[in-house]
Amino acid sequence: MIFTFSRTALLALLLIASSAAYGDDLADFNDAVERAASHNRVADGYLRTGNVDLASLELDRLRDEWAALTQRFGGKRPGAFKDGTLYTTTLLKISTGLVGADMMLQSGRMDAARAALDGMRRDLYDLRKSAGVVVLADCVRDANKIADAIMAYNDRNLDWTNPNTSRGLSARTADYLSTLDRCDGIAAPDVRSNPEFRRLVDGARAGLALIPKAIETKDTNLVHRVLIELRSFDNLLAFRFG
């Protein structure tokens, strides 16, 4: 643990000292982040199912990938990130957050460890958004937020006499479909043609295509079935590509 904190302190000095250095390696940076993020997603999945040993293994791999990223890009940030302070703070915050995630995991606080991993995803989202950097993971995160809002309509007692019910459900459905189209367009060709990606994206589209009929016929049961299926598709999108 002493070594871990010492390494984090050294990283802080490196990032602060080199915050003015620029590079043009945005694609390589994004690839390195995705390699780390893939372990984040798997670790989170194991934490969700209570598999501590495998979660710990993935967290170790995540920390190794993040250490390699900071070693390469800590001293030479991609030119897209103009705000050196935010860039430096984000990389350092994630490094210390991963130490915290490991501590939470080892102490059996799996919900806290999951929160730390989500904090990493949120910090990267905020960093990229501030710089106008677009990646699939952030689009999927946007879709997840809209799906959360749609779930408010998964109610067996929907009040169809209230015009806001139809308008709200229709608007959020349109927002999700629009965001899903954007994600499909952002995805790299190999991801876009990936059978699992296609199943999730096309499945969500097909289900939501039934919402106008459900609104027209005031079919609460159909809304319920569509939204239960959407929740599954949306969760899997986050797990695999978010």
Could you give the dihedral angle defined by the CA atoms of residues 172, 176, 179 and 183, in that order, rounded to the nearest 10 degrees? 170
Q: Are residues 178 and 194 in the same domain?
A: yes
Range of the domain at 152: 136-241
Q: Are residues 147 and 224 in the same domain?
A: yes
Q: Are residues 15 and 120 in the same domain?
A: yes
**In the chain, alpha helices (H):** 2-17, 26-49, 52-73, 84-106, 110-131, 136-150, 163-186, 189-192, 195-208, 211-217, 220-241
pLDDT at 147 over 70: yes
pLDDT at 100 over 70: yes
pLDDT in tens, 48-74: 888 999 999 999 999 999 999 999 998
pLDDT at residue number 197: 96
Q: What percent of the chain is modeled with pLDDT above 90?
A: 81
Residue 71: how many other CB atoms lie within 10 Å: 11
Out of 74-78, 89-93, 109-113, least confident range:
74-78
pTM: 0.82
pLDDT in tens, 169-203: 999 999 999 999 999 999 999 999 999 999 999 99
Q: Are residues 53 and 158 in the same domain?
A: no
Q: Are residues 7 and 116 in the same domain?
A: yes
Q: Are residues 40 and 105 in the same domain?
A: yes
Domain at 88, CATH number: 1.20.120
Q: Are residues 156 and 53 in the same domain?
A: no
pLDDT at residue number 212: 96
Domain count of the chain?
2
pLDDT at 11 over 90: no
Q: Are residues 164 and 190 in the same domain?
A: yes
Cα Rg of the chain, angstroms: 20
pLDDT at residue number 77: 86
What DSSP designation does 50 have?
T
Examine the fold and report which residue of 131, 163, 186 is the final residue of a domain before the chain moves on: 131
Examine the fold and report which residue of 78, 96, 131 is the final residue of a domain before the chain moves on: 131
pLDDT at residue number 1: 45
Distance CA 121, CA 116 (A): 9
Q: Are residues 7 and 119 in the same domain?
A: yes
Q: Are residues 119 and 185 in the same domain?
A: no
Examine the fold and report which residue of 131, 162, 187 is the final residue of a domain before the chain moves on: 131
Q: Are residues 160 and 224 in the same domain?
A: yes
Contact criterion met (CB below 8 Å) for 25 and 79: no
Contact criterion met (CB below 8 Å) for 64 and 40: no
Q: Are residues 127 and 141 in the same domain?
A: no
Out of 11-20, 111-120, 128-137, least confident range:
11-20
